[in-house]
A and B are shown apart, each in its own frame.
Chain A
Amino acid sequence: MHAQYSRSLRIQKVHFFVGLAISLVFTSLIAFNGFNFWIWQASMVDWLLSFAGVSHKLFISSGVAKGPTFEMPINFRPIPFTTVIVLLFVLASLAVIVNIFRGIPPPVKAVSFVVSILAILTLLWQTMVSPIPAYTLHWVTLDWSCSGVINLCLITLIYVPFLFTIKGPLWVKVFWLFVAIGFSIVWNLLRMSLVTATLYYFGGLVFLLFHYILGAFIDFVYIVTFYSLALAHLSKSEASEAIKFDA
């Protein structure tokens, strides 16, 4: 009898060490080929920006710390003060109304409230603290913190202890790990292109919000998705095998 309340699993040590080895190799590859990876990323983003109709120039910096930079012509004008006041009022009202109205589910309230407050703070920052003067050129640099490199290391770091240790075929684990890594690379390319193109088309305020929200908030969602798919796949394999019963 395999009672769900008392069973535990035998840790898959071999798979764990295989996963660890993959993780170390991958991290080393990124560490030693970081710059090449950046250049490749930048060239892909370059292509996507061209597709999106963004006029730009790509500068590959020789210094690793700076990273590839896109120069874009932007005829930026600061938002008029009255517009700022109106926007602040609208956003604040939205935050309050969302709180009061009972019919709105809490998750929607949370997102609306947070986005409103972030928008208010960004608007205030742009208007009062660091107003961006009118200019004709702007630069966007793909540095290490927003290039998606961290996520690539993180995926292997997470999947090894939480997935490779669980009983199931090794190929399933390796397959989903590489699917997640591949997804992450494509995701980051699209994200960086989209955010940069948003700056070109919509200006600094929307760019800052977009970049922060897409970068800080949503980035880890796909890690959970592929983890869950991998775990479900393992569960299917495990259901047909005998497991250690620990009563």
Chain B
Amino acid sequence: MTLESQIVSLIGHLANFVLLTISAIMCLYVMRHIRFFWNRMFKEQRRCYQDLAGAYTPSVSILIPMHKEERVAADILERFVEMDYPKDGGRYEVIAIDDGSTDATPSIVDEYASKFPFVKAVHRAGNGGNGKPEALNVGLKVASNEIVLTFDADYLPPRDCVKRLVAPFADVEVGGVMGRVVPVNSPESLVTRLIDIERAGGYQINQQARYNLNLIPQFGGTVGGFRRSVLKAVGEFDETKLAEDTDLTYKLYLYGWKVAYVNAAECYEEAVLSWDMREKQLTRWAIGHDQCLFEYFFETLKSPILTFWQKVDGILLLGVYTTPLLILIGWLTGLFTYLAGAPWWCSVFPGILFVFAYNSIGNFAIFAEAGGSLFLDQRRRSIWLLPLVLVNLLANVWVCSKAFFQAIFLHQRGYEQVKPPVWAKTQKRGVGKDNYNKALNSFRNNNTHRWDKTERSGNGMRYYNDIKNAETKRNHRKRG
């Protein structure tokens, strides 16, 4: 055997090993999603304290960070003014945090604050704002109640949303709560329709099943809440993380609290409209999630508090934004197996190859999850869009693969040390954190901007009125 052929053979073996490892990991995700599908579709659903919703009404503060939200600010503030919740005695306060807005947002916020005593306006000066986590931390200083809920400015909650979200806090073990997000502008473009399907699968099936199975449902940073004392205990919102919600979720669980997922607390959001915006949003989520992967992987494994299955789910959840990269590597290394033929030891794992043979793009279970959720929601024709979810999957492969390397870069910068001059004693100059923040801000400014700004169309109420009229007509037809 020549040296060249030996090298090729070695590369071939390595490629096959990588391929089998990736297939094994993807099999774990397949089984996870199958488990979630079965649990949500056929098993008894956890009650999530909704029987107490309305009966238990603790004091609550609602934070709404805003940056240039003139198109939607009035809508969301109006929703919270009309919220069905006792507003007496300071038990209900809405804190609108205007973070350096240069449009009409400050005046809208001031207008509501002047009309309603339970609405407070917080204005932060600053060129372009400083980002959502910082805005939330400022809002927390102003909030006076123990239970804090957070909503993004483009959300439209129903009147019972707050009652449903606070009910789980009757349980002392619950540190955080999360509701269901539903895109209101799904008719707007292909992107919004695909996101609608993705959200349906992610919340109706995935989050609910994780809650049913006592795994790790995720706090999503909006249509959600937490206890102030718990947040203070675990260290407030980490402003260096691009996904502070994932970060908080893991902190809560590692410290012994739980996150309750309330499927009944549905709330409309405005999904991003274009592929460009989708790419920016997904990049931020992926990098933020990967930051949490680097930080919490071993902590999750070693935790004395989490159960075995929580650890398994926790690890798989941390790695969820790396699976598109694994798929991409699988495609490329699969080529070696195809060109060079599988070595003899691959036949030991026929099941994995069997799965991979059809599984190369992703796993069918994701499509089944999305389809199951649409079935439960009785969105019959939307189920036809399932094959187009492939387009979303391809987008994820591209964006998340890039994001993983960007996350590694950020992670490395965070640990950079400056070498001291040879004549000085070894001493940390403490600039590692500065370098990290520079890299983070540079990334934010160039890519996602300091605020993960998704352009709002402000058409939320219009779409809501359309669907409400359609629903009214349908009900008339049924009765008639």
**B378 engages A107 (CB within 8 Å):** no
Would you call the interface of chain B mostly helix, strand, loop, or mixed?
A: helix
The residues of A that contact B8 with a CB separation of less than 8 Å are 129
Question: Of the 9-residue stretches A18-26, A55-63, A77-85, A113-121, which lies at the interface with chain B?
Answer: A113-121
* A122 close to chain B: CB less than 8 A: yes
With beta carbons under 8 angstroms apart, the residue of B43, B204, B391 that contacts A107 is B391
**B383 engages A231 (CB within 8 Å):** yes
* B334 close to chain A: CB less than 8 A: yes
Kindly identify, within residues 356 to 390 of chain B, every residue whose CB is under 8 Å from any CB belonging to chain A.
357-361, 364, 367-368, 371-372, 374-378, 380-381, 383-387, 389-390
> Which partner residue on chain B sits nearest A154 by CB separation?
B358
* B81 close to chain A: CB less than 8 A: no
**B394 engages A106 (CB within 8 Å):** yes
**A221 engages B263 (CB within 8 Å):** no
**A229 engages B384 (CB within 8 Å):** yes
**A216 engages B45 (CB within 8 Å):** no
Known contacts A224-B364, A232-B380, A232-B381, A150 near B371 by CB under 8 Å: no
What are 12 A-B interface contacts by the 8 Å CB criterion? A4-B378, A5-B264, A9-B41, A9-B376, A114-B332, A165-B41, A221-B390, A223-B358, A223-B364, A234-B375, A235-B383, A246-B45
* B338 close to chain A: CB less than 8 A: yes
Query: Complex: how many Å from CA A10 to CA B375?
Result: 14
Query: Complex: how many Å from CA A117 to CA B401?
Result: 15
A114-B332, A117-B332 given. 4 additional CB < 8 A pairs?
A107-B394, A166-B41, A224-B387, A228-B367
A145 to chain B, nearest CB (A): 7
**B398 engages A106 (CB within 8 Å):** yes
* A105 close to chain B: CB less than 8 A: yes
* Contact pattern, A 11-33, Cβ under 8 Å of B = 1, otherwise 0: 10000000000000000000000
* B289 close to chain A: CB less than 8 A: no
* A208 close to chain B: CB less than 8 A: yes
**B44 engages A246 (CB within 8 Å):** yes
Kindly identify, within residues 86 to 114 of chain A, every residue whose CB is under 8 Å from any CB belonging to chain B.
102, 105-107, 109-111, 113-114
**B376 engages A7 (CB within 8 Å):** yes
* A66 close to chain B: CB less than 8 A: no
A204 to chain B, nearest CB (A): 11
* B294 close to chain A: CB less than 8 A: no
> Which partner residue on chain A sits nearest B12 by CB separation?
A129
The residues of A that contact B331 with a CB separation of less than 8 Å are 114, 118, 216-217
* A202 close to chain B: CB less than 8 A: no
A51 to chain B, nearest CB (A): 27
